[in-house]
Amino acid sequence: MPEEKPERVDAYLVAGGRFHDIDYARLELLKLLSEHPYIRVKVGSDYEDTASITSASMLISYTCDIRPSENAQIGIRDWVNDGGRWLALHGTNSALDFDPPNPVGSPRCFPIWAELLGSQFISHPPIAPFPVQVSDPDHWLVEGIEPFETDDELYLCEYHDRDSLHPLMQTEWQGETPGFVDSDWTDCDPVHLIMYLKSHGKGKILYNNLGHCRGHWDMTEAVKYYPQIERCSWEIPQYHELLRRGIRWALGEEG
């Protein structure tokens, strides 16, 4: 019998936004997607090409302060509801009001988006190493991954119906986040989700908020030349393994 060949899969990658080395993240994600040669990828810098997004079978996003229009939010929500799979990364759930030297605000400006994703970024402590624990070691997306430490942004979020989220990885932290409007997290629930699954209708969202990256020219709104290059979780093998599994999940794999 002739060898069965995989069918073409159309994917849409949104990579765009502020304060991050989007070029680096875009390239790394495209390299991971290229491990599946039958995936054909269309790339955008925002969510407004809803016709292309909703005609794809999978969506991957790496953004920061990209605020989709209401039409885009509704279109993508309906696409997920009809069975779409969305691998959301890092700042996909972020909206930032940045006006130095004032603290950074996180306006609650896209309730449809935040409810669909299950969370909205609010602030983070200074980048520093923190431990990541596996919440559901029997789930194939994290099975066999031992607890690890990463040097990254520890996302502090508001959750929308937290009981509807399926935690896969988490960390614990309480303290203060200088530089943000919402800076007092001393009495918060210490458990913060790093990666989770969320169902919406017939579709699903997999959110992994690790993966900060920044180059010398990504903070020009504040400084002309940022002194250090930050690669954070992109430098550890566990993150690449989580992304590879996330792509397989977006292709429809159930483990």
d(CA 214, CA 206): 23
Beta-sheet strands, E only, within 114-254: 119-123, 128-134, 148-152, 156-159, 165-172, 175-176, 184-185, 191-200, 203-208
Residues 6+ apart with CB under 8 A from 150: 129, 130, 132, 210, 232, 233, 236, 238, 239
The CATH number assigned to the domain with range 9-121+195-250 reads 3.40.50.880
CA dihedral 63, 64, 65, 69 (to 10 degrees): 10
pTM of the model: 0.97
**R_g over Cα of the chain:** 18
For the chain, what are the domain ranges?
A: 9-121+195-250
Answer yes or no: are the C-beta atoms of 47 and 206 closer than 8 Å. no
Average pLDDT by stretches of 10, the chain with 255 residues = 84 98 98 98 98 98 98 98 98 97 97 98 98 98 98 98 97 98 98 98 98 97 95 98 98 93
